[in-house]
Chain A
Amino acid sequence: MSRPRIRAELEARASVFAALGDETRLLLVGKLSNGLPQSISRLAEGSALTRQAIAKHLRVLERAGLVRGMRAGRESRFAFTPEPFKEAQSYLERVSSQWDDVLARLKFFVEDEES
């Protein structure tokens, strides 16, 4: 893999993690995860936040590739795009299982000597 490509991948992943590291955005992703595109007004329902604030959060999610904005007549609608989310999740699972292996070896290493 070329260096720019790796760099781009690292940055894309980091921006997904950063985008999801916020209560409001997480809630928005939750609302959109049923797959149906929704308007900002709809997403703002039951929230203490203004539509402007919701729009700002949606832009962050859009930049990370987690939602896609689309025009529907006079209003914008947003839809969840699960791919970057799944990629980030599988990356964390790989890192996590790598640590399981490392820690199992440490356990064997320190306990073996004791017995």
Chain B
Amino acid sequence: MGNSIEKRIELKAPAMRVWRALTDHREFGEWFRVKLEAPFVPGQISRGYVAYPGYEHLKWEATVQKMEPERLFSFTWHPYAVDPKVDYSSEPTTLVEFRLEPMAGGVVLVLTESGFDAIPRDRRIEAFRMNERGWGEQMTNIARHVAA
């Protein structure tokens, strides 16, 4: 997949525990620092407020995509949608995916955020198809060129 951020983290906790932390909206809110109104439901918009000190007036919104127990939780959202005066609803969204992979004594959580190249449909001039290489890798390549 192109244009994405990928992070891997080892969690020394059972998959069941990690899954609950990811998908129970109150538990998610604890570590993600958001206060959510209702449980996550695939296909539905999850709404709430940022619970980060100093940013409590900011709305938080994401559309839940997939919930495959102990395997995959994903949602789309507007990254860095932090200006309360701006309506971001017609802006492009990125896809956030949390994948769980088994590991001895816990799980490896793989986070990806993709779609930074998305341009609003109505303004799209050309439909660029992304290649298979990761965005991070491309950035590193160019950064090397630029620094050279």
Contact = CB atoms under 8 A, between A and B. Distances in A.
Interface of A: 1, 3, 6-7, 10-11, 13-15, 17-23, 26, 29-30, 33-34, 60, 63, 82, 85-86, 89, 92, 94-96, 99-100, 102-103, 105-111, 113-114
A33 B86 contact: no
Interface stretch (B41-49, B57-65, B114-122): B114-122
A6 B9 CA distance: 33
A107 B11 CA distance: 6
B33 to A, nearest CB: 7
B135 A30 contact: no
Contact of A102 (B32, B79, B145): B32
B138 A26 contact: yes
A29 B142 CA distance: 8
Interface residues of B, number: 50
Contacts of B92: 10, 14
Contacts of A18: 3, 117, 119, 128, 130
A13 B94 CA distance: 13
Interface of B: 2-3, 5, 7, 9, 11-13, 17-18, 21-22, 27, 30-33, 79-80, 83, 85-87, 91-92, 109, 111, 113, 116-120, 123, 125-126, 128, 130-131, 133, 135-136, 138-139, 141-143, 145-146, 148
Contacts, number: 121
Chain A, interface SS category: helix
B18 A110 contact: yes
Given A17-B3, A60-B128, A92-B5, 16 more contacts: A3-B86, A14-B116, A18-B117, A21-B128, A33-B146, A34-B148, A89-B143, A92-B139, A95-B5, A95-B79, A100-B7, A102-B31, A105-B32, A106-B109, A107-B9, A109-B21
Contacts of B3: 17-18, 21
B119 A6 contact: no
Contact of A114 (B17, B118, B125, B138): B17
Given A96-B5, A110-B11, A21 B21 contact: no
Contacts of B141: 26, 30
A111 B10 CA distance: 10
A82 B143 CA distance: 10
B119 A20 contact: no
Nearest to A1: B83
B11 A106 contact: yes
